[in-house]
């Protein structure tokens, strides 16, 4: 990781400062000699030596992953440069916070919140916040994700054949904002149910090949209501080492809510985590999204993201249904450093009955992990797909 090299350089530079400047000196002490029958006394300066900026900088990151039980809210920030085939050179910023709604309950997993932002040389910008708030005794859970971004994007059209045709690649400007919230009630151990609400705003402009939109409106405003079912036995929400995760979301976007395009969707996500040896965790995930009715182009099921089918351009392959699976080996290497490798596959289809194996797309890759906070990783992944690659800088594991 680039950060690791820089950190080593900073450590060396800081050590040089410590040995060559009084800023790195220990507390000054003066020993006063008294008669033999007296007690030897050591007096220390009352003013401690000032820490240099680099020492403070290193201490900040060295302490970031230590559990701070005395702090009600443990919050840290990190940023760094990145490059990908779609956003080009950019600067990402992530911040992570951990807190407990009941600090006396050691069995209650900590709640988490993440702020994320990004800007790049092609005019891409992103800002968002997501998190999971666990109420005392884990009786209720509030999950939320809010973001907006603007991006000079690419569009290939709907369906596998259009996505596979490189001649269909067309430019357009995309602005998107989403607010997604669900509130879960615990019915039994690890089992939850609750309502969900989603608001989407998508605006496409400056189309290079407008015929690929097949007459659909460039701007879409959509309000959805739904129901979520959840089984979650993971030991840690953002970086599980064992347990199961199963979630089903049923979403409805009827016309009476003011939606121009009335449709519904069913989404299934299931994950499994199993320790395999010291420091090693094997994780697997299956995900599918099926939409029914008049689904707008911006809310169709797609392949490619920071969390699944990593390496594919997000939205190149889109249709009314999508399915993907991945398996990942995560290995702790040394201190706060770890690595991961994964392999997966995915496909899209207009309806489940038209699923065909010949349209399955491969996916694989590897990544570096640095423990930013206690069991909260900064993630750098390099993903490979069919004639595509992608670099990802993010917070928390992909799943």
pLDDT, tens only, 230-239: 999 999 998 9
Please tell me the predicted confidence (pLDDT) of residue 158. Answer: 98
H/E stretch holding 2: helix 2-20
Give the Cα separation of 44 and 219 in Å (integer).
70
DSSP bridge pairs for 326: 285, 344
Sequence spans of domains, the chain: 1-25+47-63, 64-395
More confident residue, 3 or 263: 263
| Strand residues in 254-375 grouped as ranges (E) | 263-277, 280-293, 301-302, 318-319, 321-334, 337-349, 361-373
For the record, the structure tokens of 123 come out as 């005019």
CB 345 within 8 Å of CB 362: yes
Q: Which of 240-254, 299-313, 384-398 has the lowest mean pLDDT?
A: 384-398
pLDDT, tens digit, 9 for 90 and up, residues 13-27: 333 333 333 333 333
Residue with tokens 């709604």: 101
Task: Give the pLDDT confidence of 60-118 residue by residue, as tens digits.
Answer: 666 666 666 667 888 888 888 877 667 788 898 889 899 999 988 988 989 999 999 99
Give the DSSP H or E segment for 230: strand 219-232
> What would the CATH number be for the domain defined by 64-395?
2.40.160.50
According to the model, what pLDDT value does residue 8 have?
38
Q: Residue for token digits 């779609």?
A: 86
pLDDT at 61: 60
Tell me how far CA of residue 11 lies from CA of 63, 66, 130, 185, in angstroms: 14, 19, 33, 48
Angstrom CA distances, 339 to 259, 328, 368, stand at 44, 10, 5
pLDDT at 40: 41
Helices 2-20, 53-63: axis angle to 10 degrees equals 130
Higher-scoring residue by pLDDT: 80, 340: 340
> Whole-angstrom Cα distance, residue 283 to residue 312?
21
Select from 313, 378, 379, 385 the least CA-distant residue to 343: 385
The whole-number average pLDDT for the span 112-134 is 95
- Distance, CA of 79 to CA of 378 (rounded, Å): 10
Tell the residue number behind the tokens 């990593």, with chain if given. Answer: 310
pLDDT value of position 65? 66
The DSSP symbol for 110 reads P
Average pLDDT over the chain, rounded to an integer: 87
User: Shortest CA distance to 21 belongs to which of 46, 53, 45?
Assistant: 53
Burial 202-222 (b: 16+ CB within 10 A, else e): bebeeeeeeebbeebebebbb
CA dist., res. 73 & res. 98, Å (int): 6
Lowest average pLDDT, out of 64-78, 215-229, 240-254, 255-269, goes to 64-78
- How big, in percent rounded to 5, are the helix, strand and coil portions of the chain? 15, 55, 30
> Which band of pLDDT confidence, cut at 50, 70 and 90, is reported for residue 374?
confident
CB 76 within 8 A of CB 96: yes
CA–CA distance, 174 with 207 (Å, rounded to integer): 10
C-alpha to C-alpha distance for 393 and 81, rounded to whole angstroms: 9
pLDDT at 394 over 90: no
CB atoms within 10 A of CB 240: 24
Question: Residue 381: pLDDT band by 50, 70, 90 thresholds?
Answer: very high
Q: pLDDT digit string (tens) for 182-211?
A: 999 999 999 999 999 999 999 999 999 999
Q: Average of pLDDT values for 264-279?
A: 98
Residue 362's pLDDT is what? Answer: 99
Q: How many residues does the chain have?
A: 399
Provide Rg for the chain, Cα atoms.
Answer: 25
**pLDDT confidence of residue 66:** 67
């Amino acid at each position: 990781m680039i950060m690791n090299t820089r950190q080593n350089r900073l450590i060396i530079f800081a050590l040089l400062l410590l040995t060559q400047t009084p800023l790195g000196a220990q507390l000054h002490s003066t020993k006063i000699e008294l008669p033999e029958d007296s007690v030897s006394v050591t007096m220390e300066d009352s003013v401690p030596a000032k820490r240099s900026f680099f020492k403070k900088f290193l201490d900040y990151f060295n302490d970031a992953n230590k559990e701070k039980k005395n702090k009600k809210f443990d919050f840290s920030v990190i940023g760094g440069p990145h490059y990908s085939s779609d956003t080009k050179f950019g600067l990402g910023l992530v911040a992570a916070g951990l807190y407990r709604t009941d600090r006396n309950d050691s069995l209650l997993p900590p709640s988490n919140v993440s702020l994320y932002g990004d800007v790049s040389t092609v005019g891409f910008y992103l800002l968002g916040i997501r998190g999971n708030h666990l109420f005392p005794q884990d009786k209720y859970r509030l999950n939320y994700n809010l973001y907006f971004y603007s991006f000079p994007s690419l569009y290939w059209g709907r369906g596998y054949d259009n996505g596979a045709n490189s001649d269909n690649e067309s430019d357009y400007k995309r602005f998107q904002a989403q607010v997604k919230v669900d509130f879960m009630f615990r019915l039994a151990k690890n089992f939850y149910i609750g309502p969900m609400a989603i608001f989407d705003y998508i605006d496409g402009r400056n189309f290079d090949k407008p015929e690929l939109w097949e007459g659909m409106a460039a701007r879409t405003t959509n309000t959805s209501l739904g129901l979520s079912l959840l089984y979650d036995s993971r030991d840690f929400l953002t970086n599980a080492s064992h347990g199961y995760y199963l979630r089903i979301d049923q979403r409805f976007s009827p016309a009476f809510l003011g939606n121009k395009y009335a449709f519904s969707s069913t989404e299934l996500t299931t994950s499994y985590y199993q320790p395999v040896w010291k420091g090693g965790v094997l994780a697997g995930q299956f995900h599918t999204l099926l939409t029914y009715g008049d689904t707008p182009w911006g809310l169709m099921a797609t392949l490619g993201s920071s969390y699944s089918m990593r390496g594919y351009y997000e939205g190149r392959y889109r249709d009314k249904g999508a399915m993907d699976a991945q398996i990942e080996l995560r290995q702790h290497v040394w201190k706060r450093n770890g690595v991961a490798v994964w392999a997966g596959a995915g496909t899209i289809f207009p309806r489940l009955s038209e699923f065909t194996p010949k349209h399955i797309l491969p996916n694989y890759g590897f990544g570096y992990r640095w423990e930013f906070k206690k069991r909260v990783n900064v993630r750098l992944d390099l993903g490979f797909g069919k004639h595509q690659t992608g670099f990802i800088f993010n917070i928390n594991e992909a799943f």
